[in-house]
Amino acid sequence: MRVVPKTTRRTFLKVGTVAGAGLIAGDFLVGKKGKHALQTAATRPKWRTTPSHHVSALQSTPTLKPYVDALPIPPVIALQSGVVTRIGMSQFQQKLHRDLPPTTVWGFQGSYPGPTLEARQGSPVQVQWINNLPTTHFLPIDNTIHGAESTQPQVRNVVHLHGHKIMPPNDGYPEAWFSPDGKTGPYYNPNPYLYPNDQPATTLWYHDHALGITRLNNYAGLSGFYIIRSSAEDALNLPQGPYEIPLVLHDRMFNSDGSLLYPVAVGGTHPVWMPEFFGDTVLVNGMVWPYLEVEPRKYRFRLLNGSNSRFYHLTLQGSDGNGTPNGTSGPPMFQIGTDGGLLPAPVKLADILIATAERFDFVIDFTGMKGKFFVFQNDAPAPYPGGGEVVPTNVMMFRVTRALSGLDTSALPSKLADIPLYDPALAVRERNLALSESDRASDGFPEISELDELDWSAPVTEDPQAGTLELWNLVNTTGDAHPIHVHLVQFQALERRPFDTQTFLSSGQVVFTGPPVPLDANERPAWKDTIKAYPGMVTRILAKFDLPTGAQVTSGQRLRYVWHCHILEHEDNEMMRPFDVVVP
């Protein structure tokens, strides 16, 4: 299923108002690809009509030429069982484009993005995270955001390994932060983090998760890949070594001196906080609009959307040597894996719609294309799907200009992995969980986003029992698509269905207004830890709350995790909730 806007204007649902409540369910048309937003100037909030919070930023962004810098490949650290690997966070300068001065960023081991950490399935490893950052943040902090009060250290960090089946002390809980000068949050764990790797081979990623400033710490550069490998995947003979390329997407803004620009809201509902961030420049692996020289053979790409808020709709197009599209299509992409591991079989794709925090693992075969050029182009509206903000088109370029170094013996097998589907009849509980947004009445400027209409500090309301299967209905009453991430688990998408928004807002009852919309082949069967919850839809997921094998727990113990929207500006402003896994 895809959601594609009919116009580039954003629809807002004013939570709690009858007029707004009818927009989503009544004004979306179901088409071949999914739902199409029907919007008018009257439904577009004034803060989007005149986005003053972005104008000054865009005027100061320097003009940069695309495809002049080679794609960097992050260094690799092979994690070893029985060895504690020390990884430090620090501030440094790094060239992000040929024509920009070095940019101050944060990273791990002196690298932005951080080094790719590699581990083996079933082989536990330990990492000691070290905070060598300065005590003053170089990005604007909003002290009215919960967790970022003036009484808290400006620089606080904690690392979350996204998608890992892990025990709470090692999960990077938002209040487990620690500062460079020794201050700590209430859930701080001073020990090395233990990563069991008790899951199939997959592409994960690690990133900062500190309460109230996650958006800033990630924007500064604190993220990197984490890859689990296995003998089963090795046996598939997929492209590997120099033919296996990680790609992480970030959008950014720059000042003329090369420094990162994170704009603040003008006339917003908070002094600094912006509802979303959308940059005018795309970086891949920390380089602005890079190029990659490839051989005429198969390549495997592990794609991560590490942006704060932006969705990307990517198409691979033929181009001339300067990167200008020539109206032809590039070779197809064969998706072989998603967030939690390999798919049952490759899925042929002509395009990719990737939300923040999602991963797409795919193969492109450049055989027979020597001397040709291709570009990844993006046209996803921002915010998705309504639009209204800047959309950078260029992403990166592929040049099939390297000589073939040897016979390509890699494979694209027709069978990849078994994914037994969960039976929804076996779910011990079904929960309706609202995704909501409260907006300023005068102009629709968002004030706060919430899950289940509760803020971060409210008592826990989700308490699944360890080892049980639950059905979670993500009921999106807003005008945005939200990428929802649940810690601990790799879940399965069941279906999406349109619902009566007015009835839900007034009574809490879910009344479906149509049949399920078919999921895409790369969504089911598949293991997911982040799912697109589209506006006007109930996105239904099946999650089994298993703990790592051999976990030392006692009956009645409550294990604290979180679930949240992975638009980081939303997550930082209350769209995150704790949940407890209860040991029977």
The CA distance from 372 to 71, in Å, is 18
Flag whether 141 is in a domain.
Answer: yes
Number of domain units in the chain: 2
Tens digits of residue pLDDT in 391-428: 999 999 999 999 999 999 999 999 999 999 999 999 99
Q: What is the per-residue pLDDT for 543?
A: 98
- Choosing from 216, 235, 254, the residue where a domain stops is 235
Separation CA 46–CA 12 (nearest Å): 11
- Tokens representing 393? 């088109």
pLDDT in tens, 417-462: 999 999 999 999 999 999 999 989 888 888 989 999 999 999 999 9
Final residue belonging to a domain, choices 218, 235, 252: 235
pLDDT reported for residue 2 = 58
DSSP state string for 56-90:
HHHHHSPP--SS-SBPP---EEE--TT-EEEEEEE
Q: Is residue 360 part of a domain?
A: no
The per-type count for the chain, helices as H runs and strands as E runs, is 8, 34
Domain that holds residue 168: 76-235
The first and second tokens of residue 375, run together, are 């570009």
CATH number of domain containing 434: 2.60.40.420
Residue 105 has a pLDDT of 98
Q: Say if CB 95 and CB 70 are below 8 A apart.
A: no
Helix, strand, coil proportions of the chain in percent (round to 5)?
A: 10, 40, 55
Residue where the block lists tokens 């079933």: 122
Answer whether residue 83 is part of any domain.
Answer: yes
Give domain status of residue 289, yes or no.
no
> Is residue 26 included in any domain, yes or no?
no
The answer to whether residue 98 is domain-embedded is yes
Residue 469 located in a structural domain = yes
Regions in the chain scoring below 50 on pLDDT: 4-59
Contacts of 165 (CB under 8 A, 6+ apart): 196, 198, 199, 488, 489, 490, 546, 547, 548
User: Has this prediction a pTM greater than 0.85?
Assistant: yes
**Of the candidates 190, 219, 235, which is a domain's last residue?**
235
pLDDT at residue 488, as a whole number? 98
18's enclosing H/E stretch is helix 18-21
In a domain, 137, yes or no: yes
